[in-house]
Chain A
Amino acid sequence: MNNKRTTNQGMVEMIGSLAGGFVTVLRHLFRRPVTEEYPEYKRPLPERSRARIILTRDPDGDERCVGCYLCSGVCPVSCISMQAAEREDGRRWASWFRINFARCIYCGLCEEACPTLAIQLTPDFETCQYDVLTLVAEKEDLLVDHGGKNGDYNFYRFAGVDVLGEKGTHVGEEEPVNLKSNLP
């Protein structure tokens, strides 16, 4: 008797929940679809979403890249290649820099590895091309005229170039202490 009642309750519950499901689905027919139609509406992507790669510049307009090969080394698909060189003032740069976007997986490891915040990923993801060779980007395609996500950062104001001026003139460097005046 008791057993039978629980079976009946189970049946009622089952039918009730089934009907509930049907009603919920039917109600969705009269709701607005949540679809965003892509080519007409482009959803604003977060600043840090990872897509097309750029090479950024210092606030004073110089290239940030020092040709250290760290991005090239960390790249899991080896799509970054470059040639490092040195300027007369001792500042290093990449004489050529190439990213094969046909192989890039947009993992962002190059951005993490970069010591000078030169290489950065941008939210611009519409990079489709019909010809695969047009996806090979040279330095002039990659270089932009702004500082990307870190506009004010300037690596060379702190390090990386030979000290050309007098002692104590570098940014954040204190005047050298005169040992003789420092005697007890």
Chain B
Amino acid sequence: MIGWILGVIFLLIKLGTVLVALLLVAGWLVYVERKLLGRLQLRLGPNRAGPFGLLQPVADIVKLLTKEDTVPGGADRMVFLFAPAVVATTALLIFAVVPFGKEWVIWGRRVPLVISDLNVGLLYVFALSSLGVYGVVLGGWASNSKYSLLGGIRAAAQMISYELSLGLSLVPVVMLAHSFSLVDIVKAQAGIPFIVLQPVAFGVFFISAVAEIKRIPFDLPEAEHELVAGYHTEYSGMRFGLFFLGEYITMISLGALLAVFFLGGWHGPLLPPLVWFCLKVSLVIFVMIWIRGTLPRLRYDQLMDLGWKVLVPVALVNIVLTGGVMLLVAG
């Protein structure tokens, strides 16, 4: 009984820590992105609020919270109010299965550094990232605005297309790890990270992940120059903030997934496992920002071509080749 209560307490502590840490990191990730992007473009980035502009996220949040929360006339009220929550929630929930470190031992109890080690963790991740599409599409549709609707349609097409290659690129990883559990996948990379064994799958996953979080060069759903702001054109105040938050949390969680699936998760010499994990996630996020600073936006047909004619076939061939090599090695 005491053990059970202790377990619940540990779980609650873990939940709270991860939630708070994730929200804080997402807030300051906006700052880091703006700062880095500024430096990549020979600008300074935000530097007014607090030392080095470090309080910029606080100022942003105060601004977003105090702004009027408008609902456009003719909008589908219920859906309009509900959609941003879907985006933010699904983004947050993905983190439930991400392992950030080795087990800790506290008072003789083994505490795994993951909220929930689902045996089908990978499927859970895909289920949630598919659910995230609903938030975007419903938000775009409920706004009763042409720009929003176009953004929503684009988002639906893009996210569904790239989810396919996202899923297919992970099949070889599952084959190598013999498990859907993210913890087991990390454990399978104790020797060599999968990026060495599966560079093609890594490339496909990375490109699809960037497309999945709708970042440059795949930011067609919110292309400023043609669609104002795409699916969140009509949103204001904290509801816009939730879309924004969801985007950055998804950025962190996909960075974390990339680290888990291909970069060996928490494995690494010398430094503690948690630090290694954070380092790897930061590296992935830095590369995403670097890409944003470099590449222009793809055209819509190029986007679809890349998804269906390049990434999906490459991922499929990769699965077959991996299976063949595994059979040869085993046989």
Interface residues of A (CB under 8 A from B): 21-22, 25-26, 28-29, 31-35, 37
Contact = CB atoms under 8 A, between A and B. Distances in A.
30 contacts: A21-B294, A21-B295, A22-B290, A22-B291, A22-B294, A25-B40, A25-B290, A25-B293, A25-B294, A26-B40, A26-B290, A28-B39, A28-B40, A28-B42, A29-B36, A29-B39, A29-B40, A31-B42, A32-B42, A33-B39, A33-B42, A33-B43, A33-B44, A34-B42, A34-B43, A35-B42, A35-B43, A35-B44, A37-B44, A37-B47
Interface in B44-67: 44, 47
B38 interface: yes
B52 to A, nearest CB: 13
B203 to A, nearest CB: 12
A26 B47 CA distance: 21
Interface in B213-244: none
A26 to B, nearest CB: 7
Contacts of A21: 294-295
A35 to B, nearest CB: 5
Contacts of B36: 29
Contacts of A35: 42-44
Contacts of B40: 25-26, 28-29
A178 to B, nearest CB: 76
Interface residues of B, number: 14
Nearest to A39: B48
B17 interface: no
A1 B42 CA distance: 45
A25 B40 CA distance: 6
B41 interface: yes
Nearest to B295: A21
A33 B43 CA distance: 5
Interface string B272-302: 0000000000000000001101110000000
A156 to B, nearest CB: 51
Chain A to chain B: the 3 pairs with minimum beta-carbon distance, closest first:
A25-B294, A35-B44, A33-B44
A93 B222 CA distance: 59
B290 A28 contact: no
A74 to B, nearest CB: 37
A31 B43 CA distance: 10
A4 to B, nearest CB: 18
B232 to A, nearest CB: 27
A35 B46 CA distance: 12
Contacts of B44: 33, 35, 37
Contacts of A32: 42
A24 to B, nearest CB: 8
A18 to B, nearest CB: 8
Given A22-B291, A31-B42, A33-B38, 9 more contacts: A21-B295, A22-B294, A25-B290, A25-B294, A26-B40, A26-B290, A29-B39, A29-B40, A37-B44
Contacts of A37: 44, 47
A22 B38 CA distance: 15
Contacts of B43: 33-35
B295 A28 contact: no
Contacts of B47: 37
Nearest to A24: B294
A21 B290 CA distance: 11
Contacts of A34: 42-43
Nearest to A26: B290
Contacts of A22: 290-291, 294
Nearest to A25: B294
Nearest to A35: B44
A35 B294 CA distance: 20
Nearest to A36: B44
A31 B42 CA distance: 7
A164 B291 CA distance: 79
